[in-house]
Chain A
């Protein structure tokens, strides 16, 4: 994509979010939308992360707490199911792991360079309630 310099842009310029003119965008899921290259959905902030959340489907109860509290729209939830994490947009803040109510947590922060499968094999056991 060709970018214009600050002195080439006209005052009042518009950045389009989509390639087509669809006024019913709220009815389309993210994968069905025709994003323009100027939409930040096409960009990535993956290099911001030091730690990444790893998602364990076996423990998840689909409560969607992580979805509602994610600041970066990085939790993929479709049809009331939690599907996973959008690693292009996740900044690794760790809120999702913090608000996860299950025991053990179904989202745990691991070091960015760790492999997801290795992380899943190291998943902690269920903790007993302390009396």
Chain B
């Protein structure tokens, strides 16, 4: 049975299963996202973690920050490890060899955007197609932050990274971000959602729905990265606020591959320019010769928002 969380005060009585003194940067949104997922349920958890910031920082020998079963796996196969564990659990349950067969167990896989959008893509696709009962959470910080800030296919257009540096010749990455949520919805996954750490209630609601859904679930979590997005460590929640309010990261969910629901409509929509302005990786876009990129980005965001609203109305 899922835990009932009415308000923040009640939520704060949860006993944390993700311990402090991990080595993620101060102000990293990864741990906010992970903590909320681990706090929103009382069930036992089996967690597979793809290589990335989260994995290398939470299990530095001799310490571990996880109070749940956690497996360190290669860059590409978090989804594979979770589906394998789930298949074994089902088999043992059928054969009656589990010590506590009545205890609910949830299977979770964590991956960064590199592990999800690029390297682990076919493995995730396979696991979703096979229909394993697990939840895949992509911590989307739009860059390979762990290895020094290389571009990934999640990096947005115009961002300066170490492999797409902005300068006299280039304005940064030239391609748009891959729409992973739509791709996973197209797999026919029963539940796909996009969350952001600043909207904690929306996030908890979606997590609980995800964990109670039978079948593969994909969650794309916006994770503001202080180091690679280049903003001060205490601004994580403010930058996330700008991301959701400017609709660069619209919060919505898709059920059964088609039923789209927008879960957060900002009261005042902020221009994309404000969201870009607080981040050092977009600093060069405010030069005179690059201004047209901002206008193009605003146009793309508007079109995406229009499309989401139309899809929600039509229910297809």
Contact = CB atoms under 8 A, between A and B. Distances in A.
Contact of A72 (B21, B100, B103, B234): B21
B24 A39 contact: no
Contacts of A43: 21, 63
A9 B59 CA distance: 15
B63 A39 contact: yes
Chain B interface bracket (under 10, 10 to 19, 20 to 34, 35 or more) = 35 or more
Nearest to B18: A73
Interface of A: 1, 3, 9, 15, 17-18, 23, 25-30, 33, 37-45, 48, 62-65, 67-74, 77-80, 86, 88-95, 97-99, 109
B9 interface: yes
A41 to B, nearest CB: 4
B21 A68 contact: no
B64 A64 contact: no
B23 interface: yes
Contacts of A25: 15, 17, 67-68
| Nearest 7 pairs of A and B residues by beta carbon | A89-B20, A94-B234, A93-B26, A93-B27, A91-B26, A71-B31, A40-B63
Contacts of A98: 234-235, 237-238
B9 A80 contact: yes
Contacts of A26: 15, 17, 42
Contact of B11 (A30, A64, A79, A89): A64
A67 B44 CA distance: 23
A80 B26 contact: no
B13 A40 contact: no
Interface string B29-40: 111100110000
Given A40-B20, A65-B8, A73 B13 contact: no
A116 B280 CA distance: 34
Contacts of A23: 44, 100, 103
Most A CB contacts (10 A, CB to CB) among B12, B20, B234, B238 go to B20
Given A41-B20, A94-B26, A97-B234, 9 more contacts: A15-B61, A25-B68, A45-B20, A62-B9, A71-B32, A72-B22, A73-B16, A89-B19, A93-B26
B137 interface: no
Contact of A95 (B11, B20, B27): B27
A69 B24 CA distance: 15
Contact of B61 (A3, A29, A42, A62): A3
Contacts of B62: 1, 3, 15, 37-38
Nearest to A38: B62
B28 interface: yes
B65 interface: yes
